[in-house]
Chain A
Amino acid sequence: MEVKKIIIAGNPNVGKSVIFNALTGSYATVSNYPGTTVEVFRGNAKIGGAEYEVIDTPGMYSFVPVTDEERVSRNIIFSETPYVLIHVLDAKNIERMLPFTLQLIEADLPVILVLNIMDEAERLGIKIDTKILEAELGVPVLTAIGTMGQGLSNLKDKIANYKKGESKRDIVKYDSRMEEFLIKSGFGRINSLLLLQEDTEVAERLLKENKTAAKNAEKEIEVLKKKYSKPLGYLIAMERQSRASAIIDIARVSKGKQMGSFAEWLSRLTMSTFWGFLILAFVLYFGLYLFVGKLGAGVVVDFINTTVFDKWIIPPVTNFIEHAIPWGPGQDLFVHEYGIVTLGLRYAFAIILPIVVTFFFVFAIIEDTGYLPRLAMLIDRVFKKMGLSGRAVIPMVLGLGCGTMATMVTRTLATKRERLIATLLLALAIPCSAQLGVIMAMLSGLPVILGIWLVVINVVFITAGFLAAKILPGEAPVFFMEVPPLRLPKLSNLFVKTYTRMEWYIKEVIPVFLIVSVAMVAAYHTHLLALLIKIAKYPLGFMGLPESTATIFIMGFFRRDYGAAGLFDMQKSGLLTNNQILVSIVVMTLFLPCIAQLIMMIKERKFGTAMALTGVVTVVSISAGFVINQLLILFKITL
């Protein structure tokens, strides 16, 4: 027998993933901003002795999708035939979110309604009679506080004992002329409603299923449209909203009242022009510079690299390998210049991991407080100049952690044009945390170079965005974003999230460092490396960089952070002048993203586009290095 499916759906940022985690015991990322979940998560749950497959979907505002991830969610709901569909909503916003419940009921889905975040609703004095709501809607209703585990056993009971009641698919009554169409069209109520809302995807699907009927419906809709002065979608939404409000009026015991609070006061402060930017500077300084840069990239890296690896691990391992394997190239595979232990493992665990972990921790705090949507609101005007909306702040900030994850998150942007520009900027001018950390470690004693680097990267970022916005055709982006309340992060979630991301990072990085080490050793012994270095000599010469940086840029092709870690190593050994440090870190920052990000770019943006972006990035990064070097020579500057 096939396993029964449970789908979790609802508006963005209402706690769907928390409930998914509680049911399945796995971990889908939980944060305090709309659009945390961008792909479908699946897990298994055992409820009342039976096995279920649980599916967590990206948040959606309504059945008519605006962004890609909403489309994904809708397709899941339509194609997976669930045993139960859990609609999670934010209890304090029930009036605004209930229309979505009504749509699910109209689609005749087996709905269980969860009024989540009940604690915040109660704090506002909102009280809802779930019994009345159940009677009105004809589906089971329960309250919950997902983050505290409240209401979950009740939910499991309702799932185990679920019996679909009588269909209430005509719970909303529309204008008589529309009702006539809904009955006559023969496509079922929800499909017909979506047709009236001019949903092209559904129209195409129905056209394939039954051409004549779909053509007929199309004609009738044209006639119907002329009878109303407003778009049909608008009228349908209004009708649904007024039905929802009417139901709430009966079921709501107390409406609650507005209260000022410290969180609200602080929230407004983060969004005011002056204080907002001051708080941003504060977050960057303490979070990024002090915690990640000084502590992660400085103290921790120093300890693991120079003490743990150089003193404790590498000497005995080298000794052991040199005795155990008499064959030179075999030894090189594990130790010496490019060995798995001396290069692969050390870069991954001594230099990059501590930085990535501290960054992920800071980022988790930023995510869980709800700061990101506020930053989006603050920065929208600036981003518009680059063809992006404030919403793009989320993938950009995430890109400072990991460009691969961020490239995937560009899905939450509304237009193709925005997604393309964001992908380009992520590949070009947003250094990932590993790279950033190594760079900060290198430049901690060189404030002038740090300043120049910052200016150059920002200029490239803004110019590239500005030019992309000018060149690429398409409409200017529209900015809208729900701003969730500021919330105090839960320590357990911070740790679990950081841990999950660290685990993900290690899983991604281990095969890469194995490949890099093996490839480098093989290239070294077959003299391919010497050849590549010879070829690379010329562009490097243009940029005033020594030949020895060639291997670093070759490694940088596999992972940018490996390249950066290589530079870090060279600087420690005194092999680079300050001028060369500036040029090489600028080029490395702008250089090709790592292989994982390239694969993600191909996956999200298609092969041709990804290649074109890669070409642009390569040309820009090398030109930037060239120009900086020429300027330094021209003005006879020695940093």
Chain B
Amino acid sequence: MNISQKTEEVLEKLYIEIIEQKRKGLSYDELKIKQDGAEHGELIKKNLALDKNGIIKLTKEGEVEARDVVRRHRLAERLLTDVFDLKGVCVHDSACEFEHILHRGIDEQICRLLGHPTTCPHGTKIPEGKCCKEKGIKDTRVIAPLSLVKPGEKGKISYIQAEEKNKLQTIMAMGILPGMEITLLQNFPSYLFKVGNSQFAVDENIAKDVFIRITK
């Protein structure tokens, strides 16, 4: 479906507020759109949203579409921070532009390239794509979690994704920090890797949270 850039941004906002923040719906003012504006028309006409007494809600189709927009935005953020090394506000703005260019198909390729990340650089969840379900070690990729790296591959730690405080603390305390050189030695029965002159054994639970930028 071809949707205008402005409308996509409205969809994105609806998704964050309704699906993620669990709100009932949003008013026109909150969405910064007008009742007779083009975005409103597009939303209603393409059956993406419903207008109930001035409160906008997503339809089933709208939710699917909005989820996709959010996914593309957050993937774009990952791409810009992890591969192009951009930082701060610049990332958000560029990502907003970027998300519209990433049409279906391309977003899957970028997702593969980035090792199917599950959170954006700010820590919010990236909605899962079809490709994430069939992820594998054979994908061509630039960045990948340790659990998807081949034994013998080397790289630099790009970021650590752990959400639980204790797990993050555990990983950091071992001195496993972004920027460190890392080599995966083995991936079975446990993951064995080398950082500096030390070797560590970890389980999948930790390996899937350490993302590395593969160099060889």
A219 located at the interface, meaning its Cβ lies under 8 Å from any Cβ of chain B in the complex: no
Assess the A272–B186 pair: CB atoms within 8 A: yes
The interface bits of chain A over 209-241 (1 if a CB of B lies within 8 angstroms of the residue's CB, else 0) are 000000000000000000001110110011001
A479 near B201 with CB under 8 A, answer yes
The answer to whether B175 touches A478, judged by C-beta atoms less than 8 angstroms apart, is no
| Bound-state Cα–Cα, A27 to B124, Å | 51
A455 → B minimal CB distance (Å) = 23
Let me know if A463 is at the binding interface, CB within 8 A.
no
One of A233, A256, A377, A414 near B190 (C-beta < 8 A): A377
What string of 1s and 0s marks CB contacts (under 8 Å) between B98-132 and chain A?
00000000000000000000000111000000000
**With a CB–CB cut-off of 8 A, which chain A residues contact B3?**
none
Q: Nearest A residue to B188 by beta-carbon distance? A: A273
In the bound complex, residues from chain B placing their C-beta under 8 Å from that of A380 are 189-190, 201, 203
Chain B residue nearest to A120 (CB atoms) is: B197
Most buried by A among B122, B175, B177, B205: B175
In the complex, chain A residues whose CB is within 8 Å of the CB of B201: 271, 373, 376-377, 380, 390, 479-481, 483
Nearest-CB distance from A388 to chain B (Å)?
12
Asked if residues A482 and B200 are in contact (CB atoms below 8 Å), the reply is yes
Does B168 have its Cβ within 8 Å of any Cβ on chain A?
yes
Contact of A377 among B123, B172, B189 (CB under 8 A): B189
Q: Which residues of B contact A233 (CB under 8 A)?
A: 165, 168-169, 172
**CB <8 Å contact, A482 and B202:** no
Q: A380-B203, A479-B203, A479-B205 are in contact. Are A241 and B173 (CB under 8 A)?
A: no
Residues of chain A within 8 A (CB-CB) of B142 are none
Given that A66-B166, A480-B202 are contacting pairs, would A124 and B189 also be in contact in the complex, using a CB cutoff of 8 Å?
Answer: no
Chain B residue numbers with a CB within 8 Å of A272 are 186
At the interface, yes or no: A164 with Cβ under 8 Å from chain B?
A: no
A256 to B197: give the CA distance in the assembly, Å.
10
A480 near B186 with CB under 8 A, answer no
Which residue of B has the minimal Cβ distance to A380? B190
B21 within 8 A of partner (CB) = no
Q: How far is the CB of A533 from chain B (nearest CB, A)?
A: 50
Partner of B173, one of A66, A229, A273, A483: A66
Q: Which residue of A lies closest to B122 (CB)?
A: A229
Closest to A391 in B: B201
Is residue B179 within 8 Å, beta carbon to beta carbon, of the partner chain? yes
Closest B residue to A228 by beta carbon equals: B122
Q: How far is the CB of B182 from chain A (nearest CB, A)?
A: 12
A245 CA / B177 CA spacing, docked (Å): 12
Residue of B nearest to A124 (CB): B197
Chain B interface bracket (under 10, 10 to 19, 20 to 34, 35 or more): 35 or more
Contacts of A479 in B (CB 8 A): 190, 201-203, 205-206
Q: How far is the CA of A453 from the CA of B165 in the complex (A)?
A: 44
How distant is A422 from chain B, measured CB to nearest CB, in Å?
A: 17
CA distance A10 to B72 in the complex (A): 45
B10 at the interface (CB under 8 A from A): no
Question: Are A390 and B165 neighbours in the complex by a CB distance under 8 Å?
Answer: no
B160 CB-CB contact with A under 8 Å: yes
- What count of chain A residues pass the 8 Å CB interface test? 47
Is B35 part of the contact surface with A, judged by Cβ < 8 Å? no
User: Measured between alpha carbons, how far is A498 from B166 in the docked complex, in Å?
Assistant: 37
How many Å from the CB of B194 to the closest CB on chain A? 9
A97 to B192, CA, bound (A): 20
Which residues on the A side are within 8 Å of B140 (C-beta)?
none
Q: Give complex CA distance A124, B123 in Å.
A: 39
CB distance from A100 to the nearest CB of B (A): 9
Quick check: B179 and A241 within 8 Å, CB to CB?
Answer: yes
Q: 0/1 per residue, A379-392, Cβ < 8 Å to B? A: 11100100001100
A478 lies within 8 A of B189 (CB): no
A378 and B189 contact, CB distance less than 8 A: yes
Q: Does B196 contact A (CB under 8 A)?
A: yes
A96 to B181, CA, bound (A): 11
Take A229-B121, A241-B175 as given contacts and tell me if A377 and B188 are in contact as well, using a CB distance cutoff of 8 Å. Answer: no
Does B178 belong to the interface (CB within 8 Å)? Answer: yes
A256 and B180 alpha carbons, distance in the complex (Å): 16
- Measured between C-beta atoms, what is the minimum distance from A120 to chain B in Å? 8
Closest beta carbon of chain A to B55's beta carbon, Å: 28
Interface centre among A97, A234, A390 (most CB of B within 10 A): A234
* A60-117 interface (Cβ within 8 A of B): 61-62, 64, 66, 90, 92-93, 95-97, 99
For residue B2, CB closer than 8 A to chain A, the reply is: no
Write out the residue numbers on chain A whose beta carbons fall within 8 Å of the beta carbon of B172. Answer: 62, 233-234, 237
The verdict on A234 contacting B170 (CB below 8 Å), with A380-B203, A381-B190, A479-B190 known, is: no
Segment 247-301 of A: residues with Cβ below 8 Å from B: 256, 268, 271-273, 276
A380 vs B192: C-alpha distance when bound (angstroms): 12
Residues 57-93 of B at the A interface (beta carbon under 8 Å): none
Determine whether the beta carbon of A234 is less than 8 Å from that of B160: yes
Contacting pair A61 B173 (CB below 8 A): yes
Set of chain A residues within 8 Å of B53, measured between Cβ atoms: none
Q: What per-residue 1/0 map shows which CB atoms of A459-482 lie under 8 Å from chain B?
A: 000000000000000001011111
Knowing A66-B169, A380-B203, A482-B198, the reply to whether A61 touches B121 (Cβ < 8 A) is: no
Decide if B23 is an interface residue (CB 8 Å cutoff): no
Q: Chain B's nearest CB lies how many Å from the CB of A616? A: 28
B185-A62 in contact (CB<8A): no
Residues of A within 8 A of B1 (CB): none
Say whether A64 contacts B173, CB under 8 Å: yes
A242 within 8 A of B: yes
A384 CA to B172 CA, complexed, in Å:
23
* Interface set, chain B 131-168, CB cutoff 8 A to A: 160, 165-168
Q: Is the CB of A271 within 8 A of B203?
A: no
Which residues of chain B have C-beta atoms less than 8 A from A377's C-beta?
189-190, 192, 201
- Chain A, residue nearest B199 (CB): A483
Most buried by B among A96, A198, A381: A96
Does B195 lie at the interface of the complex (its beta carbon under 8 Å from any beta carbon of A)? yes
Residues of B within 8 A of A268 (CB): 185-186
Q: How far is B160's CA from A124's CA once the two chains are assembled, in angstroms?
A: 29
Q: Select from chain B the residue with minimum beta-carbon distance to A267.
A: B199
A242 with B179, Cβ < 8 A, contacts A231-B165, A273-B188 known: yes
**7 sampled A-B residue pairs with Cβ under 8 A:** A95-B196, A233-B165, A237-B177, A245-B179, A271-B192, A380-B189, A380-B203
- CB-based closest 3 A-B pairs: A96-B175, A61-B173, A377-B201
Interface residues of A (CB under 8 A from B): 61-62, 64, 66, 90, 92-93, 95-97, 99, 124, 198, 229-231, 233-234, 237-238, 241-242, 245, 256, 268, 271-273, 276, 373, 376-381, 384, 389-390, 414, 476, 478-483
- Chain B residues with CB under 8 Å of chain A are 121-123, 160, 165-175, 177-180, 185-186, 188-190, 192, 195-203, 205-206
5 additional A-B pairs beyond A229-B122, A381-B189, A483-B201, beta carbons within 8 Å, are A62-B173, A92-B197, A233-B169, A241-B180, A478-B170
